Amino acid sequence: MLRQSSSAIAANLREIDGRLRALESRLHRIGSVTSTNATRAADGIGEAVASALSSMAARMRENATSVGNDAARFGNDAMRRLSDEVENRPLIMLAVAAGVGLLIGLSIHRNS
């Protein structure tokens, strides 16, 4: 009876060992698949972030170009208006220029 018990125990241990090995093999395969999926996900996230940053940079370039064009247009408008005023009222513009020059000269003299 003791022999039957020990052989039954040995058979049970072999079955447990086999199941543990099968479980270990499955876990290894799942780990490999999970690792591969995690790598793919990380690559996908990197690509998504790069795409979003590229899109933001393109919008910022467009906005900067638009702002630059607006600034150039406003500068040209200001120069045209100033030119028109100099042609229409030369003495007044000369007095304004002299006044501005005097103020700048006084401020430089005080800071020295």
Whether 43 contacts 50, CB under 8 Å: no
Overall domain count for the chain:
1
> Using CA atoms in the order 50, 55, 60, 62, what is the torsion angle rounded to 10 degrees?
140
Amino acid at 76: N
Q: pLDDT in tens for each of the 112 residues of the chain?
A: 445 566 777 788 888 888 888 888 888 888 777 777 777 777 777 777 778 888 888 888 888 888 878 888 888 888 888 888 888 888 888 888 899 999 999 988 887 6
pLDDT at 1: 45
Amino acid at 64: A
Per the structure, the complete domain to which residue 17 belongs is given by 2-111
Interatomic CA distance for residues 20 and 100, integer angstroms: 92
What distance, in Å, lies between the first and last C-alpha atoms of the chain?
115
Whether 93 contacts 86, CB under 8 Å: yes
